[in-house]
Amino acid sequence: MTSDIKPPKTILCPACGSPDVTAEKKERTISVPYGPAAEFLETVYTCNACGTDGDFANENDVVVNKALALSRNESAKLMLQKMTEGPGEFTLAYIERALRLPSGLLKLWKMGLLSNTALSLLRIVYTFPWLLQVSDANFQPEITSKICQSYLRRFTEDQVATIVEPVDVYPTPPAK
Ligand SMILES: [Zn+2]
C-alpha cells in the first residue's frame, strides 16, 4: 500500500534559496468597475535570511482571480438592477430589444453568466444609457443627434447623468 501523505512543501526563498521563510496572511480587497469590493487573503512570504518578500509559492493569483470574478459577477447584477429598478428607467425586455439580444439573456447576465465582451457592452450602456435609445432607433443619424443633444443638455443642466455614478474604486494590481 502506498501512502498519499506528501512531505510538507518546503518554500524556498527565490533570491537566496534559504528555507527559513515565514508566511503572513493579509486581508485585501479588489474590485472591478461598478463592482463591490471582494475580499481575499494575500499570502506574503518573507525570507528571514535575506529579507526578500513576495508570493514565493505563487498562491495569490488564484485567490485574486476568484475575488475578481465575484466582484465582476456582482457588478453585472448591480448595473442591471440600477438600470431597471429606478423610477422611469428601463426594463430588461427593453434593453434586450434595444441591443438586439435574445430574449431572456439579461436574466443570465444578472446571474453573472456573461462573457467579457458582454460585460464591456453592459458597462458602456450603463455609463451612457442614452446609447440604448440610439440603438433602439437603429442608429438613424437624425434621431441619434437629437438623443445625444437632449442627453447632453440634461447632463449640463442637472450636472448629473440619470444613472451614472462615479467609479471610486479601480482594481488595485495584486502585489507580486
Ligand atoms: Zn532569501
* Domain membership flag for residue 97: yes
Q: 167 CA distance to ligand 1 centroid (A)? A: 40
Average pLDDT, the chain: 86
* Domain membership flag for residue 121: yes
Domain ranges, residue 99: 21-127
Lowest mean per-residue pLDDT among 17-21, 81-85, 103-107, 114-118: 81-85
* Domain membership flag for residue 157: no
Question: What pLDDT sits at residue 88?
Answer: 64
* Domain membership flag for residue 147: no
* Domain membership flag for residue 172: no
Question: What pLDDT sits at residue 89?
Answer: 75
Instruction: Note whether 96 and 102 are within 8 A (CB).
Output: yes
Kindly report, residue by residue over 46-74, the tens digit of the pLDDT: 999 999 999 999 999 999 999 999 999 99
What pairs with residue 53 in β-bridges?
46
* Domain membership flag for residue 161: no
Map residue 39 onto helix, strand or coil: strand
Question: What pLDDT sits at residue 166?
Answer: 45
* Domain membership flag for residue 160: no
* Domain membership flag for residue 93: yes
Kindly report, residue by residue over 135-166, the tens digit of the pLDDT: 999 999 999 999 888 888 877 766 554 544 44
Q: 40 CA distance to ligand 1 centroid (A)? A: 26
Q: In the numeric block, which cell numbers belong to residue 117?
A: 465582451
Instruction: Note whether 18 and 50 are within 8 A (CB).
Output: yes
Q: 53 CA distance to ligand 1 centroid (A)? A: 8
